[in-house]
Structure 1
Amino acid sequence: MRSDKFEKKDYEWIIKILFGIIALLVVIIIAILAIKLSKDTNLVNVISIGAGLVSIALAFVAIEIALKQDKNATLTNIQTQDILNSINAKISSVENKVDNFKVTNTSNKVRAMNNSEVKDFVGKIINKTTK
Structure 2
Amino acid sequence: MTVDNTRTDAQWRAELSPEQYRILREHGTEPAFTGEYWDHHEVGEYCCAACGEPLFSSRTKFDSGTGWPSFYQALNADAVAEKTDSTHGMVRVEALCRRCGSHLGHVFPDGPAPTGMRYCINSASLRFQKNQD
Q: TM-score range by the shorter chain?
A: under 0.3
Q: Normalising by structure 1, what TM-score? A: 0.20
* Rg larger for: 1
The structure that is strand-richer by fraction is 2
The structure that is helix-richer by fraction is 1
By relative contact order (CA 8 Å, sep 6+), the higher-ranking structure is 2
Q: Normalising by structure 2, what TM-score? A: 0.20
